[in-house]
Amino acid sequence: MGDSQLIKKIIQGYATGHFLMDEAGILGWYTAPQRTLIPLDDRFHYPRSLQRVLNRHQFHTAINQDFAGVVYGCANREVTWISSELIEIYFALHDAGWAHSFEAWQGDELAGGILGIAIGGIFIGESMFYRITDGSKVALVKLVEHLRQQGFMLFDAQLNNPHLARFGSYTIKNDQYQRLLTQALRSSCRFIPDP
């Protein structure tokens, strides 16, 4: 199977509501009975302490400025589901214009970032990391702003955790997710804004 065919097959997998994970050294497709969404409306919120960080303007954001740095930052943890094989897939998806990094920077240092895949009007958040305190939180707030500006309909975070819950994340049943996914895929949003 050629690279373009493989990429097409992978994007089709995500477009049907599945996601890739490496479990015990085996890369495979997974789904869940419930899906976690980050709200793109007024249900999105964050702690007041983070607002003070945002007000100080100590971070600035960028898209795809250091895609590799974000991928390896997300994979570099004691327990990770991002294998070397999956890293190669992310790079191939990035080269084809599907996978992106949304980054927070402090000066010339990558402070944190979010790795994701944009298809139609859905952004599928694969992972996030930080090197500087609040780096990934600022990236998340600014990414939500960006997705709103670009007209995205869904921000899929796949699986919930206490960190995401602080930002208003919520879960829906898979059948409801599939309906929203179908609607979002009909949209033609651009993750990277026109110059």
Phi, psi of 115 (to 5 degrees): -100, 130
Digit-coded pLDDT (tens) for 84-98? 999 999 999 999 999
Domains and CATH numbers, the chain: 3-185 (3.40.630.70)
pTM across the whole model: 0.94
User: How far, in Å, CA of 162 to CA of 23, rounded?
Assistant: 22
Q: How do the pLDDT tens digits run along the chain, 195 residues long?
A: 458 899 999 999 999 999 998 887 889 998 888 999 999 999 999 989 999 999 999 999 999 999 999 999 999 987 788 999 999 999 999 999 999 999 999 999 999 999 999 999 999 999 999 999 999 999 999 999 999 999 999 999 988 888 889 999 999 999 999 999 999 999 999 999 887
Digit-coded pLDDT (tens) for 47-78? 899 999 999 999 999 999 999 999 999 999 87
**Residue pointed to by tokens 């991002």:** 82
User: How far, in Å, CA of 149 to CA of 180, rounded?
Assistant: 19
User: How far, in Å, CA of 175 to CA of 138, rounded?
Assistant: 32
